[in-house]
Structure 1
Amino acid sequence: MGSTGGAVPGSGGAPGGALTEGSHGAARPAGPPRAVGVVWLLLGLNTLGSAGAKTVVPLPRSLIQMATMGALVAAFALALALNLRLRFRPSAFVFLLTLLLVPSVISSAQLEVGFGALFRCARLALFVATLWLLSRWWDAGLAFVRLHVRMYVAVLVLVAAGLLVAPGTALPEYYGGRLVGALWPLTPPQIGQYAAVVVGLTVLLLLGGRTTRAGAAVVIVPALVLLAMTHTRTATLGLLIGLVLAIGSLVLTSAPARRFFAWAVVGATVAAVVFSSALRAWFLRGQSQENFSNLTGRAKVWDALLSEPRTVREQVFGVGLSDKSFDGLPIDNSWLAVYHEQGLLGVALVAGMLLALGGVALLRPPSLPRACALFLIGYCALSSYTEVGLGDASAYLLHLTLAAALLAAPAPAAPLPAPGLPRRRVPRWARR
């Protein structure tokens, strides 16, 4: 989002590493090439998934898988073409993500969950390789934030179009009237996640003066409406806690952040008093107290997974990458899913990724990129309790990758050449 209008204006298309001159004559690095944005969009398409709600026009799962996997292959090929010299930027996050391939391959090679495990390993390897190729353009700038917001705004527009075209399909009874994707199979938690991330990043860009109020409102208001229609509690709590962490990091250095924080506290207090019953009904989603206490049946699956007898090899390396289910039921917890598929070694590596990002964020001085990174880290850490994706190619890993790009040390800008002086002929006696 630029400061001159539009909800999501475009970013610069100068070649990566090139230098442009600012308004005060200072040299600053230009944004990544436009093709890098295409790679990022293809990675986002790959993480949309192939299983979800029923759509207006039935889409075969094989066709969706072909589109998502084709997007990943195209993203890798394009990233390799842009970075033929294989220039990488050091990243502890991507390094630990690369190490996560070790338990994934060791466990999947046993074929306990079928040949699909090897396919998912190849997908994860291609995903990680593409991230390494893109790391060349990570410079703690906001270009990737704009790409991220633009990508998920397009997804939300598709969801809203499905709601207008076929409201009955978009609000099905088998999901309790929660919003789903009617044109592309998206579940309510997915839509809630995308809406929450869009709202959080847009609010931070507004506080940082990188977009106008009108442009931010065009994005934030519809995204909040879609988030409310999904009835996704995890995404809502993740949005609130992520914004508290991000804005809290800006309070001491940003007057707009202080004003927003104060008004947000007042608004939340008034809403909690006036709309307490409506908020409680929305939060419970018509569930009984017992069903809510065991997290809609998730606790039973978690207990069964933890009590399952395992060999030492299965405890250390897991059983292989699967469809994130146990006995045919979804696990819905990133840590238990990683333990089940990649073992204790995978859990340690995923924890190391989050700790590395959080530690680097705490060491960085207050800034808008740091605030955006803290929002994404906080959101993914909270969502990991009831969502899966931290151990495999997913939107959550893409969020954390964006955080890593925002926390990368900016490349030093080369000084602009001094203006040339008129050359004079030096007399021969002066040369002697």
Structure 2
Amino acid sequence: MGGGHTPKIVGTVWGLLVLNTLGSAGAKTIVPLPRSLIQMVTMGALVAAFALALAVNLGLRIRASAYVFLLTLLLVTSVISSAHLESGFGALFRCARLALFVGTLWLLSRWWDGDLTFVRHHIRMYFAVLGSVAMGLAVAPGAALPDLYGGRLVGALWPLTPPQIGQYAAVIIGLTVLLVLGRRTDRVSAAVVIVPSLVLLALTHTRTATLGLFLGLALAIGSLLLTSGAARRFFSWAVLCATVAAVGFASVLQAWFLRGQSKENFSSLTGRAKVWDALLAAPRTAGEKWFGMGLGDKSFGGLPIDNSWLAVYNEQGLAGVALVAAIILVLGGVALLRPPSLERACAIFLISYCAIASYTEAGLGDASPYLLHLALAASLLAAPAAAAPLMTPELRRRHIPRWARRSEVP
């Protein structure tokens, strides 16, 4: 089904999905961009992605995918929870967006063949996004490092928050490191991606992305230790460097990690715990408990929830939480059952990163970069399609009418 050459337009579709999931809320940009304009661009990108995916797959050929099937069930749950309009008509709009997102993934599943094609698309697109961040930093350092965010790096050309930039940087750093270990790219090309991305990650002071990067890479490289000498050498050097850094730069690392916060503020996860406690204590009907309040803006009482599990519980109820948990468990289980390979390691990194980030970031219940990362993991874990049998001259004469043959093979 998915074997053979992947059309170039598929990479364009993936890039449009990345653009759609950038979001419309964030820091103030150098040139003020109306939120309605940004939403028009991001939503237009999703519509274009679906249209292009449909155009290149008019036969509606898809591959069986437990991941996209579970996403489809999550979409059904979202529609049920949003139909009561407790979150307004915006909930139905978000359901339509999620439906286009899931539909596009179904159409792309035809080319999910367990290879690294989509990994390269992923790295290129997010590196382009980080390029716009670096350009904004070079053009207007004051706008890119505003006091409003405590001097943390934001998007000055496109409204991106520090956690978003940190996430994009961490994901492409991890994937590029794995490509180098698997000898699927040269070190110079990898350095061009890794070095500036590390600088941008450091400037965001994003703890979740940093922990996700290191822990995800540790698990991914650990899956290669028995089969890859390069992975063993890298792991040994990484442990040595981490030990030296922990001993020699402990105070600097602690200051970076705390970001000038008090211990009380840090222990409450920058105030997140108070929102979480209020959300869990809020009274709910049986229907709201099982199916939630409908898709919203991932906030409670006007404050961001910043936890994927609680955001899903609030918007899609316990049914949504069960489906999201099933997605993580199914992908993780399939990854563990696959034989060691670079593709498996990349999938383990992505699944681990998303699972770690879900504690302090929302996004697993709606169209988001996290669902796109997991879609990439699903494409890496897909079994290679069986190669089509060769058409011998005898089969050609038997199955293809004479009028349909371009040339008769003797």
Superposition deviation, residue 364 in structure 1: 0.5
> Secondary structure at the residue paired with 1:100?
helix
Give the corresponding residue for 2:302.
328
| 1:363 alignment partner, one of 337, 340, 346 | 337
Query: C-alpha distance in 2, partners of 1:359/1:118?
Result: 33
Query: C-alpha distance in 2, partners of 1:416/1:213?
Result: 38
Query: C-alpha distance in 2, partners of 1:196/1:96?
Result: 26
**1:103-252 alignment to 2 at 5 Å?**
103-252=77-226
Give the corresponding residue for 1:293.
267
Task: Note if contact 1:103-1:318 (Cα within 8 Å) is conserved in structure 2.
Answer: no
Superposition deviation, residue 317 in structure 1: 0.3
TM-score (normalised: structure 2): 0.95
Give the corresponding residue for 2:363.
389
| Residue identity opposite 2:82 in structure 1 | S
Give the corresponding residue for 2:250.
276
RMSD of aligned residue pairs (Cα, Å):
1.3
| Residue identity opposite 1:109 in structure 2 | A
| 1:316 alignment partner, one of 283, 290, 305 | 290
| Residue identity opposite 1:133 in structure 2 | L
Superposition deviation, residue 113 in structure 1: 1.2
- Residue identity (%): 78
Give the corresponding residue for 1:8.
none
Aligned length: 394
Residues 154-185 of structure 1 show CA distances to partners (whole Å, capped at 9, x for unaligned) of 00110000000000000000100000000000
| 1:340 alignment partner, one of 306, 314, 330 | 314
Give the corresponding residue for 2:400.
none
| 1:73 alignment partner, one of 23, 28, 47 | 47
**1:48-87 alignment to 2 at 5 Å?**
48-87=22-61
Give the corresponding residue for 1:411.
385
Give the corresponding residue for 2:232.
258
| Residue identity opposite 2:208 in structure 1 | T
Change in CA separation of 1:419 and 1:115 when aligned onto 2, cut-off 3 Å: closer
Greater per-residue helix proportion: 2
| Residue identity opposite 2:21 in structure 1 | T
| Residue identity opposite 1:170 in structure 2 | A
Query: C-alpha distance in 2, partners of 1:176/1:54?
Result: 14
Query: C-alpha distance in 1, partners of 2:386/2:75?
Result: 33
Query: C-alpha distance in 2, partners of 1:360/1:117?
Result: 33
Superposition deviation, residue 215 in structure 1: 1.1
Residues 325-373 of structure 1 show CA distances to partners (whole Å, capped at 9, x for unaligned) of 0000000000000000000000000000000100100110000100000
Residues 136-171 of structure 1 show CA distances to partners (whole Å, capped at 9, x for unaligned) of 000001000000000000001100000000000000
Query: C-alpha distance in 2, partners of 1:118/1:216?
Result: 42
| Residue identity opposite 2:183 in structure 1 | G
Superposition deviation, residue 30 in structure 1: 3.8
Give the corresponding residue for 2:375.
401
Larger radius of gyration: 1
Query: C-alpha distance in 2, partners of 1:192/1:240?
Result: 13
Query: C-alpha distance in 2, partners of 1:210/1:56?
Result: 38
Superposition deviation, residue 107 in structure 1: 1.2
| Residue identity opposite 1:240 in structure 2 | F
Residues 59-106 of structure 1 show CA distances to partners (whole Å, capped at 9, x for unaligned) of 000000000000000000110111111111001111010000122111
| 1:349 equivalenced with 2:326 (yes/no) | no
| Residue identity opposite 1:193 in structure 2 | Q
Query: C-alpha distance in 2, partners of 1:171/1:149?
Result: 25
Task: Note if contact 1:31-1:143 (Cα within 8 Å) is conserved in structure 2.
Answer: no
